[in-house]
A and B are shown apart, each in its own frame.
Chain A
Amino acid sequence: MSQFEPKIVAFVCNWCTYAGADLAGTSRAKYATNVRIIRFPCTGRIDFMLLMKAFQNGSDGIIISGCHPNDCHYTSGNFHARRRWMVFRSLIEFMGFDTERITFSWVSAAEGAKWADLVNEVTTKVRELGPFTEFKNLDYNSFNQLDNGAITK
């Protein structure tokens, strides 16, 4: 009886969260294996299109994490990212997207334990939410056939 294991992609900034995850490693904290990290120079670099792409191509949950406000290595990248996320989240919420599957957080380079906790929390939550079939099945019509774009109405 294989349990569903979610695929979680983490978009993190190099200076804080990546270093925090390194610290979690150095401290041998143990957390779930489901998360895969992609390194960015700053959360300001994270394009919202990448989030959509991740979901579209099989990710069940996403973590986005960076430096705490006022601590950004590049001074203001995380402030811009925060605004972008607020707007993006409001848009996809309006579109009925399950925003429980995206977790935003601030994890500093000293917070290895917070990173480990975060990963475990998110993995548990997304496991309960189940696979993101809603998104994956967008292109399948009600007869379970791949919709080739013809107008059926």
Chain B
Amino acid sequence: MARIGVFICHCGENISATVDVVKVAEVASKMQGVAFSTEYKYMCSAPGQDKIVQAIKEHKLTGIVVAACSPRMHESTFRKATAEGGINPYLCEMANIREHCSWVHERSEETTEKAIDIVRTLVAKVRRNAPLFPIKVPVTKTALVIGGGIAGIQAALDIANAGHKVIMVEKQPSIGGHMSQLSETFPTLDCSQCILTPRMVEVSQHPNITLHTYAEVESVSGFIGNFEVKIKMKAKSVDHVKCTGCGECWQKCPSKKIPDEFNAGLSNRTAIYTPFPQAVPNKPVIDRANCTWFTKGGKCGICQKVCKAEAIDYTIQDTFIDVKVGAIVTATGFDLKHTDFFPEYGYGEFKDVIDGMQFERLASASGPTAGVIRRPSDGKVPEKIVFIACAGSRDKAKGIEYCSKICCMYTAKHAMLYKHKNHDGKAYVFYMDIRAAGKGYDEFVRRAIEDDHVEYIRGRVSKVYEHNGKLIVKGVDTLLNSTPVDIEADMVVLATAIVANKDAESVAQKMHISYDKHHFFAEAHPKLKPVETNTAGIMLAGACQSAKDIPESVSQASASASKAIALFSNNEMSREPSVAAVNNTNCTGCLLCQDVCPYLAIEKEEIKDRAGNVLRYAAKVNSGLCQGCGTCVAMCRNKSIDLQGFSNEQMLGEVMSLLNKPF
């Protein structure tokens, strides 16, 4: 027998000014299932909540309805009070007679009638409320960080320093990502490697971090707190335990003509190589696709002969390991758009038209030209450089309508670096807008213009072509009445668009996280959940989510780490119990509900007899994943699946009672 207590709040005068609360309390006392009804000025205050606690004990109540403000305000307050009174907190509901009634209507009989209807609806719901208990899910206190760039490194260090184990997986032979390729970073012109490499070393030496380089995630299954991940360790061909890092092998390797990815194609490397001198781990791998031993059936083998540590083994195969983790941080980073999408700029055609990363390598002291800006065609130092901003971004016709965020800053930086190295050289920047919104960013761009005398021209470039060994850049100055501007440049640098890592789609599909049409990973909510995905337990950090600079990547990485650390703060995770559950005696096993769940929370369950023979199949909800949307419930034809907290009986009860019909 239901014994429900109804508490009508005056909310000072917010409700009582328009609604006759005394009448509502009186009518409520006669409603079906109500054993006690009262009204009070401020239900959410301490004495108000105490009324609930006392009433439960005195009148042996089995449910509570508080008619006051919106449940979005005080549902948890009154549920706590209900729990204090000794009954399950989920037996308490709130009837919204403030935001939905007293605040939007004038004082009238209809308004009071409406308040009575609303109270009656929630009484009918509470009559059918069942006690619910938070769901406990065990948590494996290990995190997986996918990607060893600055975002991955930051996340890994944060989680490891909090005392939890981290497994980091990086597909390149070394961690560091694109930041290791930069020469100096804006707006401070810090040496990029100098601030990055200490972090890289920290990661490799941290007792809580297990680093797997030259490895990729093969598959991910399971759910938050309980992921099972298979990692493919690609065959390095070098035993890193025996290898001493002496460097004999790559010094003697005869295959020297492979374009060096680290130097953005501006120089060559050998088949057995470390990507850069400060690589972590600083031990080489063999690029089997370009190694003579592997491509020409066993010819060569020089590296093995000269290796004194006998670390080279051509027979090593790809291996797979299985790990259990509780949370995953995805930090797979970005790429630059490399294709010849701008044939009008001669990108890919003229050697001296390069992109931003190539310029970084030219400017870098450890780059192919030892920090001297030289033309790739003839090695001469350019006297005039033209920088073209927005080369590909913000262009619907080229398919990239977003802004790549960092190009205005790095173009200014590149122009400044050039001017610092070549005081007499001339630098021009063709721009559309200047986006320099960070701390110290606008001041940085002003320095480029005012101190380093970089000439900024507002306009786009229509064409770049070669003539007599020079690159003719045809642009326009829109601030000077659209005067055409032609520059005879020695080098053109394009600020090409930032795009998602080329493997982003397959990584996202392996983890069942969503991504947009540009393959940037989707966050759970653009404003309020920027580092989580819709898959509970998988976080995002860095440029894989959208183009961003280093401070933002680091912030996001720490934010992701904090989510993981919060998850690991208990041995068990407690979840709201508004989840779906299947009545498997009624379920037909058609599993049409499986496809509607955005969280993949529905599985196929085998119903067996005592001997272990499978009798039939039924659906089963993984309460660790279910978020309680109820789409499966409305999908089920014979109502075998129900949502606790918004069950079929409760909702039908609400509808019938709202219209004052018996149910």
Contacts and interface: CB of A to CB of B under 8 A. Distances in A.
Direct contact of A and B (CB under 8 A): yes
Contacts of B110: 5, 33
A24 B104 contact: yes
B268 to A, nearest CB: 47
Which 6 pairs show the lowest CB-CB distances between chains A and B?
Answer: A25-B99, A45-B630, A44-B631, A74-B629, A75-B598, A25-B103
Contacts of A42: 629-631
Interface in A6-46: 7, 9, 14, 18-19, 21-22, 24-26, 28-31, 33, 36-42, 44-46
B629 A77 contact: yes
Contact of A45 (B99, B113, B118, B634): B634
Interface in B72-106: 72, 96, 98-100, 103-106
B369 interface: no
Contacts of B106: 30
A148 interface: no
Nearest to B656: A57
B575 interface: no
Interface of A: 5, 7, 9, 14, 18-19, 21-22, 24-26, 28-31, 33, 36-42, 44-48, 50, 53-54, 57-59, 73-77, 80-81, 84, 116
B253 interface: no
A53 B655 contact: yes
Nearest to A46: B634
Interface of B: 70-72, 96, 98-100, 103-106, 108, 110-111, 113-114, 117-118, 121, 514, 534, 578, 596, 598-599, 627-631, 633-635, 643, 645-646, 648, 651-652, 654-656, 658-661
Contacts of B651: 38, 40, 45, 47, 50
A116 B103 CA distance: 12
Nearest to B635: A80
Contact of A74 (B103, B627, B648, B654): B627
B114 A58 contact: no
Contacts of A73: 629
- Most-contacted residue by chain A among B628, B630, B635, B654 (CB, 10 A): B630
A76 B598 contact: yes
Nearest to A74: B629
Nearest to B525: A73
Contact of A41 (B98, B104, B630, B652): B630
Given A26-B103, A77-B631, 18 more contacts: A9-B659, A22-B99, A22-B100, A25-B104, A31-B104, A36-B658, A39-B71, A40-B630, A45-B634, A45-B643, A45-B651, A47-B633, A47-B634, A53-B655, A57-B656, A57-B659, A58-B659, A75-B598
Contact of B643 (A7, A39, A41): A41
A141 to B, nearest CB: 22
Nearest to B633: A45
B656 A53 contact: yes
B582 to A, nearest CB: 16
A7 B104 contact: no
B578 to A, nearest CB: 7
Contacts, number: 126
B655 A54 contact: yes
Contacts of B70: 18, 22, 25
Contacts of B578: 41
B104 A29 contact: yes
B659 A59 contact: yes
Given A58-B659, A74-B631, A18 B72 contact: yes
Given A22-B70, A45-B646, A76-B598, A116 B104 contact: yes
5 contacts: A36-B114, A41-B630, A47-B648, A76-B598, A77-B629
Given A31-B104, A36-B114, A36-B121, A80 B631 contact: yes
Contacts of B643: 41, 45
Contact of B103 (A28, A41, A54, A75): A28
A39 to B, nearest CB: 8
A44 B658 contact: no
B114 A33 contact: yes
A27 B114 CA distance: 20
Contacts of B99: 21-22, 24-26
B120 to A, nearest CB: 10
Contact of A38 (B111, B628, B654, B660): B654
Contacts of B114: 33, 36
A39 B629 CA distance: 12
A122 to B, nearest CB: 15
A153 B103 CA distance: 54
B72 A19 contact: yes
A80 B594 CA distance: 13
Nearest to B99: A25
- Most-contacted residue by chain B among A48, A54, A76, A81 (CB, 10 A): A76
Contacts of A74: 598-599, 627, 629, 631
A40 B627 CA distance: 13
B415 to A, nearest CB: 40
Nearest to B114: A33
- Most-contacted residue by chain A among B655, B658, B661 (CB, 10 A): B655
B118 A36 contact: yes
A21 B100 contact: yes
Nearest to A7: B659
Contact of B652 (A53, A81, A84): A53
- Most-contacted residue by chain B among A39, A76, A80 (CB, 10 A): A39
Nearest to A33: B110
B128 to A, nearest CB: 14
B630 to A, nearest CB: 3
A41 B655 contact: no
Given A36-B658, A46-B634, A58-B660, A41 B629 contact: yes
A88 B178 CA distance: 53
Nearest to A31: B104
B141 to A, nearest CB: 28
Contacts of B117: 36
A37 B118 CA distance: 8
Contacts of A44: 596, 629-631, 634
A51 to B, nearest CB: 9
B111 A37 contact: no
A40 B646 contact: yes
A140 to B, nearest CB: 18
Contacts of B104: 24-25, 28-31, 116
Nearest to B639: A47
Nearest to B629: A74
B646 to A, nearest CB: 6
A22 to B, nearest CB: 4
Contacts of B514: 75
Nearest to A29: B104
Contacts of A31: 104-105
Contacts of B111: 33
A22 B121 contact: no
A45 B656 contact: no
Contacts of A59: 659
Contacts of A80: 596, 631, 634-635
Contacts of A36: 114, 117-118, 121, 658
